[in-house]
Amino acid sequence: MKRVVVTGMGTINPLGENIDTFWNNILRGENHTTMISRFDASLFRTQIASEIKHFQPEKYLDRNEIKRSDLFTQYALYSAAQALEDSGLNPDTMDPFDIGVIWGVGQGGMETFEKEVENYVTGDYKPRFSPFFVPRLIVNMASGMISMKYGLKGINYTTVSACATSNTAFMDAFNYIRLGKAKVFISGGSEAPITPASVGGFSAMKAMSSRHDAPQTASRPFDRDRDGFVMGEGAGALILEEYEHAKKRGAKIYAELVGASMTADAYHMTSPHPEGVAAAKAMSLALEEAKINTSELDYLNLHATSTPVGDIAELKAMQRAFGNPSNLWVSSTKSMTGHLLGAAGAIEAIIAIKSINNNVIPATINIENIDPEIPEGINIVVNQPLEKPINTAMSNAFGFGGHNSSIVFKKI
């Protein structure tokens, strides 16, 4: 089996419009959650979100790309352009069938859907739909437009597994490269869910925090008083490349992707299994594939979204998989970014890689009173980053429908 490495990264998210800004804000423990500005959310139980402010798509997109795409596709194109630029890879020098795109999207063009339906129902003129309605809406358009922008003719599709989506995309790209089906993939995930219907739907489920008096402290995984997740938006992209191909062209290598696994809870539509049986299996299988012992795993970026049930279930799953190794430290960076749904795994993979590169573990911020239900023996990085050697890092992403995913990166 061929080896797979990361040679480029890009992002646009509430904490930054590029990798350096994002990472620096993560280390500073920043949170940019505010009252929702995109629309009037005053009638909803939840009225806060982690929005991207002052997005300037024209930095990487031309006018037609902006006109013809929903925000989730614009985020995808923006982060993919950064990652490709960062990699130093010139697609024009390669066989276009050797480069593919596997991209993750959870919801697709919610903004497009809502505006078009609203116009159809309430429009002052004869109701009609835009010819761009379907192309802007469908979830696979992000991967399609990335391939069109760069003339990439290899394997191309979109994964959908709710909030595990980006990890699913990485896992598929990883396996195709290992099998020799491609040399390079642009892979990642994007989401633009801060719309009335999306926020209203999650709000009706009481899945999100309603801490309106202090929005920046609302996302508080592992805190006794957490009351739900904070919705975020954006994208993250990785250039995944066959090791020998990267080495031959003298590419800088951030890390090696060495393990990836998925399982299903087969339990409940929206709640995780309380004992984390299948989630534990996903972690164990990913580590087994990586050929890494439990004692060699240094950092685990948890999915932990700040929900009362989910955080504890994941920690139980981790203990079931690994016990309580003294060297393993964990944190949830959603305390800073909010929850980017289908793009969550993408930006958290970037955090895991940057942790390896910089030998530092980002903190879980906003913990004021640790939940007494948290199992004993778990090393949570609380409120301040922890500097220590990081050779291996795992990133978890779980989703509605019982989807569990874990990926493992290793220092080269």
Give catalytic residues, as residue numbers.
163, 303, 339
Helix 277-290 crosses helix 308-322 at what angle (to 10 degrees)? 50
236 closest CA partner among 11, 8, 21: 11
Q: Work out whether strand 403-410 and strand 386-387 pair parallel, antiparallel, or are unpaired.
A: unpaired
| CA 340 – CA 49 distance, rounded (Å) | 10
Is residue 164 within 8 Å of 262, Cβ to Cβ? yes
Is residue 311 within 8 Å of 346, Cβ to Cβ? no
Give CA separation, 12 vs 49, 60, 232, 333, in Å: 16, 12, 11, 16
Rg (CA), the chain: 20
Is residue 305 within 8 Å of 337, Cβ to Cβ? no
With helix as H, strand as E and coil as C, how does 256-286 read? Answer: EEEEEEEEECCCCCCCCCCCCHHHHHHHHHH
Cβ-Cβ contacts under 8 Å for 130 (sequence gap 6 or more)? 116, 136
**Dihedrals φ, ψ of 290, to 5°?**
-75, -10
Residue 387 CB burial class (10 angstroms; 0-12, 13-18, ≥19): exposed
88 backbone φψ class: left, alpha, beta (φ>0; ψ -120 to 50) = left
**DSSP state letter for 51:** P
Give CA separation, 112 vs 97, 129, 135, 204, 366, in Å: 32, 11, 10, 21, 34
The 3-state DSSP class for residue 220 equals: coil
The 3-state DSSP class for residue 89 equals: coil
| CA 336 – CA 29 distance, rounded (Å) | 7
For residue 199, give the H/E element and its range.
helix 196-204
| Amino acid in the structure at residue 149 | K
